[in-house]
Amino acid sequence: MSIRAVVFDLYGMLTEDLGRDGYDALLRQMAAVLLLSADGFSAAWCQVGRRLTTGGFATLEEGLTHICNVLGTQADAERIEAAVELRVGYIRANLCPRDDAVETLTRLKSLGLKIALISDCGLEVPMLWSETPFAPLVDTALFSSREGLCKPAAVLYLRACERLGVLPEECLYVGDGNGQELSGAKAVGMTAVLIAVPGAVHYDYGRLEAASWQGPRVAALSDLMNLVD
Ligand SMILES: [Mg+2]
């Protein structure tokens, strides 16, 4: 069956992955403005991470208020807002396209292919999405924090197909292999492709799939063009 759509992961795919040092520094800064210990905040943030990325809180403010409560404090609204601003600023700065990302999306679209995005992410990404150069090039974007579930849930991939009007077998799914995203895509019938960019930095949790992936792989976004011709 010929390929009619390409479904992209976001971090480590269209953008660089979040580097560990920058991410840890952000958590320390957020802890400082909330007057919390860095270690306590970081542990609590990790604990509620799943809820933050699956729509368990309506806003980041709500999530941070919950974390403060868990840690036995009550931050005032101004401090919560300052922490939100730090987080949103960090996410905005990290939504920069990889060198060949915009060009590749543009070329894929010019071939008549449909484009989707599926990202496991917090509420900041959908908030900022329209500011990114990706927005006009992506036909449908599914964010875990809006959809209420993370990869590798089959329903997420099937929802992307439904919104694009294509079958899973007509889709390439490409990502850097976090969260079992490749096997999830393969399980619904998509052709899953690992992007393994030399020298990429990962803020990693669960990259076992990338290490053991035996399926197709590309070393750069632009190499995708060879898979859709
Ligand atoms: Mg990724």
Q: 155-203: per-residue pLDDT in tens? A: 999 999 999 999 999 999 999 998 899 999 999 999 999 998 877 766 6
Q: 25-65: per-residue pLDDT in tens? A: 999 999 999 999 999 999 999 999 899 999 999 999 999 99
Expressed in angstroms and rounded, the spacing between residue 77 Cα and the centre of ligand 1 is 32
Nearest-5° Cα angle at 225, 224 to 228 = 90
Whether residue 223 sits in one domain with residue 137 = yes
Expressed in angstroms and rounded, the spacing between residue 31 Cα and the centre of ligand 1 is 26
Burial class (CB in 10 A: 0-12, 13-18, 19+), 49: middle
Q: What is the pLDDT of residue 32?
A: 97
Expressed in angstroms and rounded, the spacing between residue 37 Cα and the centre of ligand 1 is 29
Whether residue 105 sits in one domain with residue 198 = yes
Which domain, by its residues, includes 204?
5-18+96-228
Expressed in angstroms and rounded, the spacing between residue 97 Cα and the centre of ligand 1 is 13
Q: In 3D, which of 154, 176, 165, 222 has the Cα closest to residue 5?
A: 165
Expressed in angstroms and rounded, the spacing between residue 8 Cα and the centre of ligand 1 is 9
Whether residue 189 sits in one domain with residue 107 = yes
Whether residue 107 sits in one domain with residue 218 = yes
Number of domains present in the structure of the chain: 2
Given a contact cutoff of 8 angstroms between Cβ atoms, the answer to whether 140 and 162 are in contact is no
Expressed in angstroms and rounded, the spacing between residue 87 Cα and the centre of ligand 1 is 19
Q: 42-53: per-residue pLDDT in tens? A: 999 999 989 999
Please give the Cα distance from 66 to 120 (Å, whole number). 21
Expressed in angstroms and rounded, the spacing between residue 35 Cα and the centre of ligand 1 is 32
Whether residue 24 sits in one domain with residue 11 = no
What pTM was estimated for this model as a whole? Answer: 0.94
CA dihedral angle for residue 47, residue 130, residue 30, residue 21, rounded to 10 degrees = 80
Does residue 153 carry a pLDDT above 90?
yes
Whether residue 130 sits in one domain with residue 163 = yes
